[in-house]
Copies of this chain bind each other. A is one copy, B any other.
Amino acid sequence: MTRPLILVTNDDGIVAPGIRVLVELASELGDVVVVAPDSPQSGQGHAITIHDPLRLKKVNLFAPGVEAWECSGTPVDCVKLAKHVVLKDRPIDLCVSGINHGTNASINIIYSGTLSAAMEASLENIKSIGFSLDDFSFDADFNPCKPWVLEVMKYALEHPFESGNLLNVNIPKLPAEKLRGLRICRQADARWVEKFVEGRDPGGQPYYWLTGEFVNNDTAEDTDVWALQNGYISVVPSMHDLTNYKAMQGFKALEKYAVATDMPAIA
């Protein structure tokens, strides 16, 4: 029997501890190919590299039998290179991204390279899961979440993903006995409230450095943030259709408004 083919990537870079855990778990379930960034790519969102060439280098960082490549590009670049160059369009049964050091719940899905890589795979009709642990530390303890991550991957391999290929899985930082289970959630409507630290570089020129605070006023029990705060692993089925269907009817007035107006003459 052929084992399933599992692509592993992340945004913290190929040497991050989180991806080692994911490779170890994925190896229990299938043949693993890793294509991950050669440097940290947090906050890269869905960026792709179009003005520069990309590099791929085979590396020997994981257990025997795990094919691994480091890539000079973004997480989304990694998925594109994995599919078209490394795997030469062989069918991929599952793409897993992470385990991210730090949460990607709520609006973080938009900024996260980890989730954007998973999104890119889902665009290629590959079942895809982004995993994140709510602990930014390089020394984060991934042991408590291992059985759960394994179960979600097993579920993905064994079941069809109807109506969508992408799961955003976030895990609270808790000891094993405190993890209460999985919850299917919606994305909480939270925000980053940013500020910039202003300073002067050694040459005396001003700089601005982004920092911010995650603020959530959406406390409903069906949200991912609620789940995390209450000891659950949150699972948000996610998608690439950004159409705001609810708003379409309201904007119909714009069609009429523009049509009814005499177009001003601009040279």
Q: Chain A residues in contact with chain B, CB under 8 A? A: 25, 40, 42-51, 53-56, 74, 76-77, 80-81, 84-85, 107, 109-111, 116, 119, 123-124, 143, 146-148, 150-152, 155, 159, 161-164, 166-168, 181-184, 186-187, 189, 191, 194-196, 198-199, 201, 205-210, 235-248, 250-255, 257-259, 261, 263-267
Contact = CB atoms under 8 A, between A and B. Distances in A.
A80 B210 contact: yes
Q: SS class of chain A's interface: helix, strand, loop or mixed?
A: mixed
A-B CB proximity, top 10 nearest: A45-B46, A53-B207, A237-B247, A164-B247, A239-B244, A147-B263, A47-B47, A163-B247, A164-B244, A237-B244
Given A155-B254, A186-B241, A235-B251, 13 more contacts: A25-B266, A43-B49, A48-B210, A49-B210, A56-B208, A80-B210, A107-B240, A123-B191, A148-B263, A181-B259, A186-B243, A186-B248, A238-B242
Contact of A242 (B51, B77, B239): B239
A25 B110 CA distance: 30
11 contacts: A42-B50, A44-B45, A45-B46, A45-B76, A77-B210, A143-B266, A166-B244, A182-B255, A184-B251, A187-B241, A238-B244
Contact of A258 (B151, B207, B243): B151
Nearest to A163: B247
Residue among A49, A54, A85, A110 with max Cβ neighbours from chain B (10 Å) = A110
A148 to B, nearest CB: 7
A132 B85 CA distance: 31
Contact of A146 (B53, B85, B238, B266): B266
Contacts of A166: 244
A248 B80 CA distance: 27
Contacts of A110: 46, 119, 240, 242
A162 B250 contact: yes
A260 to B, nearest CB: 10
Contacts of A191: 123-124
A257 B244 CA distance: 32
